[in-house]
Amino acid sequence: MCGIVGYWGRRNAGSILLQAIRNLEYRGYDSVGICTSNGEILAIRKDKGKVEEVNGRHSLHEMTGNIGIAHTRWATTGKVTKKNAHPHTDCTKSIAVVHNGIIENYERIRERLRAKGHAFQSETDTETIAHLLEENIHLGIGQAMISVAKELEGRNAFVALFGNEGVIAGVRKGSPLIVGVGGEEYFVASDIPAFLEHTKKVMYIDDGQMVVINNGIHFFDIDSQKSVEKRIVEIVLDMKQAEKGDYEHFLIKEIMEQKETLFRAINQDEDEIRKFAEEINQAFGVFFIGAGTAGRVGLMGEYIFSKIAKKHVNFVLASEFPSYEHFLTSKTLLIPISQSGETADVMKAVEVAKKKGVKVVSIINVKGSTLDRISDHSFLVNSGIEKSVASTKATTGQLAIVFLLAYACAGRLEEGKRLLIDTASEVNDMLNPRYEAHIKRLAKKIGRRDHIYIIGRGLNYPVALEAAIKITEVSCIHAEGFAGGELKHYSIALISDGVPCIAFVANDETMADMLNNAAEVKARGGYIIGVSPEKHEIFDYWLKVPDVGNTSPIVNIIPGQMLAYHLGLERGMDIDYCRNLAKSVTVL
């Protein structure tokens, strides 16, 4: 979940690394640090806080040297303090390390190294890497890196700077690491936006591999210790997608971009969609998996396939999927859904599936991500770079592809595509200043409430769960989604005078029951916010959405996203950098 980056070249590393970690701040914003070297001594500046705060105190942009490493942290092991900020060094202060992931056996390693006289300066698992490298450096840099990588347990990636030799080296073991190739310079980072403004040429490091950069670039397999050949891939990404432009926050920019991104998601290769639909129809057991928001899309998939394709598919949270391994076979089909393509829970689930011979076809937003490369096939959402921690445009794109697949399984792909195009046009009309102002007024009414409850039925029950995620992430209000039919069984006990309750009321077979549920809440003092094509008497506040039939989840998600944004503003939250969260969850 942390952002790591290394630079080797001819230019001033300090300013380049500073901009790189600005571009990676969505991966972690607890603390920041940079280490640079002139080929001899190491210079380190680090502190807790966000990138601009730390730069303001320590002038990171003024750091000299032509090589360096940098880090923006999402804390796992060790509190958020200056001493726990990366980079970390060995006892000689000649080796510095930045790291993403978890070292499961770090306590045992640290005890052994302390017995040998190593003095630790932090509480982190990361610092053990620097001291292990010091113990093994007599073997040479390459062998030292391999030896350390083999000893570390858990999913992680790290980049080390060897100041005396002017060398940068990186290892990937379950967490992402990518190389960028410039003219006479190289980058190694956890994500492409770190170096996108400098080069669009990348080389992918696979799991169990390492890279060594010193007047050239060399890749090695950790187990065999043999050299590995890599090809340069030209990526198609626009750096402007990672800039806010005229918007105050990335979140509202990305919400508004759904005017275009939905059309891009719908524009899939129809032959590929039909081919995969046939595989779904023939599979013995189909599973959607995902985590967080992508998990709610997977749950919607269960309902969508039931209603449209008259077909049973399963949804399992990615973190729980390994418990299902006992009845997976080579006839099973796994459909992971992920924005980043690097989510640790998803990757672990795919590993379990692959061992049983399961075919994996993914729905992802990042081409070239780990999930993309290990899948048998991928459908790209094509939403572009998403910088806000709270996912929006990738979510509706993922939903669009799930709908396409369901309609294709029913032999009605053209009908489904027309409906989705009409739905995207309706979303385009929804995203206007008047609609946003109407939602902003609602946010002012309910923004100081401690609890918000959200109900839905059928296709819109998972939408209620997703709206709760958005409101929780962005505003830090306790928001909880329920199936409307569950109210009488337990959750109506939470309703008291004035408590906001959002009701998703679609013009479908669930409408009458949903209105009854809303009435039950209102009878107990609840404040009913209706999300519906029609205004019903029971509503205290109405958020109109277009009547699009089966694709109502797509249009209903939009007001949930926008309300979360304005609730966050009303409460003075850090909109793009949700408290305690990071964009890409690469640790288990």
Which residues lie below 8 Å from residue 481, measured CB to CB, with a gap of 6+? 453, 454, 455, 456, 461, 464, 465, 466, 467, 468
Which string of b and e fits 257-278 if b means at least 16 CB within 10 Å? bbbbbbbbbbebeeeebeebbe
Enter the tokens of residue 171. 């290892």
Q: Rounded to whole angstroms, how far apart are CA atoms 64 and 12?
A: 6
Total Cβ atoms within 10 A of residue 376: 14
- Contact residues for 107 (Cβ-Cβ < 8 A; gap 6+): none
Token pair 């017995």: residue:
115
Task: Tell me the pairing of strands 527-532 and 541-544.
Answer: parallel
Copy the structure tokens of residue 72: 């923006």
* Helices and strands, number each (H, E), in the chain: 17, 25
Q: Which amino acids are annotated catalytic?
A: 2, 583
Q: How far is the C-alpha of 118 from the C-alpha of 510, rounded, in Å?
A: 65
Map residue 429 onto helix, strand or coil: helix
Contact criterion met (CB below 8 Å) for 498 and 325: no
Smallest Cα–Cα separation from 331: which of 289, 273, 282?
A: 282
User: Three-state SS across 188-218?
Assistant: EECCHHHCCCCCCEEEECCCCEEEEECCCEE
Contact 480, 493 (CB under 8 A): no
d(CA 121, CA 118) in angstroms, rounded, equals: 10
219: part of which helix (H) or strand (E)?
strand 217-221
Q: Take residue 160 and report the two structure tokens written for it.
A: 């080390």
Is residue 456 within 8 A of residue 484, CB to CB? The reply is yes
